[in-house]
Amino acid sequence: MHQNRRAWITRSTIAAVGLSLTATTLAVTANQAAASVTLQCASSAPVYRVLSNGNMLRYQHLDPDTGAANWSANPPTIGFAWQPGKPVAAPDGVIFAPWTGGELRRYRWNGAGWDTFPNGTQHEVIDTGGWDRYLTADYRNRITVDTDGFIYTIEPDGALHWRSFDAATHTWTHRVIASGWNQYNLIIAAGRGVLFARNAAGNLYRYRYDAASQRWLTTAQPVGLGWQAFDRILSAGADVLYTIKPDGTMYWWRWDENAQGWTASHGAQIGAGWIDSATTAAPDTCQVNGVVNPVRPTVPAVDNPPVTLQYSTNGDIHYSYVDSESRAVYAEATDVTGSTPIGFAVVPGFTGVIGITGTGDYQDGRIQLAATGTDAEVRTNVQTVSRGPWAGTTTYGGFVPSSASIVHRSDNTIAMFALDAAGDLWARSQAISNASLDAWTRVGPTPLKPGPITVAVTANGIRILGLGQDGTYHAATYTTTLSAWVSLGSTGFDGTISAVVMPDNTLQVFANNGGAIQTQRETTTGFAGTWTSLPGVIATGSPSAIMSPAGTLQVVARADDDYVYYAGQAAPGSAVYTDWREITNYTDQTSTSPVALAVPDENTWVVGYRNDLDTPKLRRYQSPALRTATPFVDVPLTPPSS
């Protein structure tokens, strides 16, 4: 039974509990660092207790902020016959309850009794199927609700799922936010997005997830050992925990975000006799003030962004761009012979976006499309099947001011990268092929200014390149961690750098320096910092380079006369480049920087751009042996209908 604080003579110390605590101070970026946070709690914390006979009692812990063993007398019985369910307390008196048969119920205690719902019962069924797993021993401690009412579950796929239920519209929002969470046998939410997770060894870790930006702000921070001593952990919010041993002894804890450690009174014993069928606490009792969450940045306008071309592993060509009405437009083709016009369509729901689109191909052939919205959230859509319709446009959050890049990695998973307003690099990635992408995780700081980045996959890792605040390009390699950044030398550059992966897994890069297209070859020891100009045009915008099927580097650029020009190596491996030549015979001007793409199964390469009427264009290269006139021929395209 619970006892009043006056009945306690001594408090148990952490040694009596038999735990070892560790605290790790995490490095955080400037825009995430918090000022001194303060704790604010209601006068009491409601704790709901289901006895073995199915009765539910509502207790009040009168000192949730200090952990004093002070309880209200005579807790009332507020429910009966709870044996088939498991209550999980949510804010504002709401209780979610997985129930025998698989349904999820929603109750609400209004202070005087249970709300009555339109069907005349004291609960409403808000989902059906699968929720009874949280009544089993394996999953009983793998469901929790945070201060904002968001539901977190570990599911049979081993991933951590996040759900938001809108009680007004009875609609759900569902995300998979992290993989590999089957390592944890208990999770408990303890604040806005704060999660404590315990593994089988009893190690306790602290996480923080920001639902608005879909970022992990803290991941796997070790905060304790020996937590297998408890069979139940509940929270009043604001990092206040109640832990219960199998013998029914209850302890109080609070993690201090200022000190990055447990408070001096942690591990205080505040009760006994809590041998219950289920125990849960109201997660909105306590809150912390002063925590700084990610801020939505201003997204600058992007005039005439270039198109995106991708050659996928199944041999398809994918063409996408953001049109003048801020819509994402997409087309795909199985060949570029021109025998059948390639038709474009606006992607449903993909509106209000800017900049450059990103595409990535799943192992099963589906395409994921992404673009950043004017609200700094990355929009995305994935095909339901390869070459099939789109599943539905959703938001990936991010709070990033520019475009996200997607790459297909060597293990047949995809990853997405973007810079935030401070220039920090963030990533979302698949843990396994064809799975959902985990939430944004901070990769690390960069010397880059916010803007598009170039991402290239090599055998040595993912190469990240971008323009620095100093007008110099910088590069780093990402494997499981991010390498040191290296300068590519010189200054005065602008726009996006183009990188070609060479046969030895080094890079050849091309960039615009004051209108001059310059190139530099990386060696096995890195970039020497020496750039070579390819004279002959005054370029505007960014160049695009590829390794052609013939084994020569080819680069395209928009000149100051708004025509598209190309130049290439005189022979494979040559340091000599041909003169610049125009690709349309001066019949078609461009409003965007052109983009080149190798099409190896057709032994050719193509150039995509949009003209001054916002019409997509695609030109295919013809080798001298096959051409009848100009080196490039027009590939028929059908623009999207308005």
Are 608 and 597 in contact by the 8 Å Cβ rule? The answer is: yes
pLDDT at 356: 97
Are 569 and 552 in contact by the 8 Å Cβ rule? The answer is: yes
DSSP string, 113-148: SB---TTSSS-EEEE-SSGGGGGSTTTTTSEEE-TT
Are 193 and 209 in contact by the 8 Å Cβ rule? The answer is: yes
Locate the DSSP E strands across 435-538.
440-444, 454-458, 461-467, 473-478, 486-487, 493-501, 507-513, 516-521, 532-533
How far is Cα 156 from Cα 318, in angstroms, rounded to an integer? 34
Task: Tell me the whole-structure pTM to 2 decimals.
Answer: 0.93
How far is Cα 377 from Cα 395, in angstroms, rounded to an integer? 6
Classified as helix, coil or strand, 28 is coil
Report the amino acid identity of residue 172.
W
* CA 569, 357, 318, 465 torsion-angle sign: positive
Domains in the chain, ordered, with CATH?
5-289 (2.115.10.10), 295-452 (2.120.10.10), 534-642 (no CATH)
How far is Cα 255 from Cα 282, in angstroms, rounded to an integer? 17
Residue 399 backbone class (left: φ over 0; alpha: ψ -120 to 50; beta: rest): left
How far is Cα 537 from Cα 330, in angstroms, rounded to an integer? 31
Q: Collect contacts of 106-114 with beta carbons under 8 A, ≥24 apart.
A: 106/165, 106/167, 109/46, 109/58, 109/78, 113/78, 114/78, 114/79
Contacts of 333 (CB under 8 A, 6+ apart): 316, 317, 319, 342
- Assigned token pair, 152: 């977190």
How far is Cα 442 from Cα 420, in angstroms, rounded to an integer? 10
Nearest 5°: CA angle at 438, between 434 and 442?
A: 135
How far is Cα 209 from Cα 219, in angstroms, rounded to an integer? 9
CB atoms within 10 A of CB 612: 12
DSSP string, 141-178: TSEEE-TT--EEEE-TTS-EEEEEEETTTTEEEEEEEE
Per-block mean pLDDT, blocks of 10 residues, the chain (642 long): 31 39 40 70 98 97 97 97 98 98 98 95 96 98 98 98 97 97 98 98 98 98 98 98 98 96 93 96 97 96 96 96 97 92 96 97 97 98 97 97 96 97 97 96 97 96 96 96 97 96 97 98 95 98 97 98 97 96 95 97 97 94 80 94 79
How far is Cα 480 from Cα 377, in angstroms, rounded to an integer? 25
- Assigned token pair, 340: 């059948």
